[in-house]
Structure 1
């Protein structure tokens, strides 16, 4: 497995109010990618309206490879099925491992949709303040798209430390 890492730079301007001068501050955004593999999907119905919408909770164990290296993450989802097998989900995932070689833990907040045709799209955000060790101060967003039943799929994460 190879990981792709891209670096972009955003420039912001800070004003020193004591000296009356502007200084440029560079904040590097790094984009990294790899794949996610999941196992042990355990879903339980939380509520149902008969033939209409229903809700469920699911727990899953993920393994990240590539830019994020982490095995056995803990992820919990809340799911709303709207019609048939379509709906939306939110989730929290505790990731312990490394990003581009920097060790630590962090939490991902996930939001996604799944369609009748089996397409799943998810965006995720690093929960502010959740980074530890070499990932302290971590911020970032990412995404993945996959199909129902696909055991491994690509992700990308754009982050700052």
Structure 2
């Protein structure tokens, strides 16, 4: 049976390197991100992203390692990000990397989304299964 965790997170670090590819109005950049989560997920994470910027909303892919608690269970897991835009509106999804769960979160599976609010705040949903 699937459960849902919801909450918010803050971007503590957004460290973008100098773009490594800029041609034809398209820019590729590597970014290191650190976050603090609250809500169903409580803890910290770090992520490595590859971003694409055009005249439309940016797209990115990334890998993020979360460490903390999920609904009271302590451990960690890895999230795979995929994000882009359609008709000027961003979409951001994430999926738990299979077999990446540690501690009390070993065996976790799931996916969710990140929501960026008009005020710049971030929230998330994570639908997951855990024995």
In the superposition, the TM-score normalised over structure 1's length comes to 0.73
Question: CA separation in 2, counterparts of 1:133 and 1:67?
Answer: 17
* Residue in 2 that maps onto 1:76: 48
Q: What count of residue pairs does the alignment treat as equivalent?
A: 129
Paired residue secondary structure (1:135): coil
Runs of 4 or more consecutive aligned structure 1 residues displaced over 6 Å after TM superposition: none
Task: Specify which of 34, 48, 52 is matched with residue 61 of structure 1.
Answer: 34
Deviation sequence 1:62-96 (CA, Å, 0-9, x none): 1110000112x111100112x23523100111000
* Residue in 2 that maps onto 1:31: 4
Question: CA separation in 2, counterparts of 1:76 and 1:148?
Answer: 24
2:13 is the counterpart of 1:40? yes
More RCO (CA 8 Å, sep 6+): 2
Paired residue secondary structure (1:39): strand
Question: CA separation in 2, counterparts of 1:68 and 1:127?
Answer: 16
Question: CA separation in 1, counterparts of 2:118 and 2:108?
Answer: 30
Query: What aligned pairs does 1:6-155 form with structure 2 within 5 A after superposition?
Result: 28-44=1-17, 45-49=19-23, 51-71=24-44, 73-81=45-53, 83-84=54-55, 86-114=57-85, 120-147=90-117, 150=120, 152-155=121-124
Give the gaps of 5 or more residues in structure 2. none
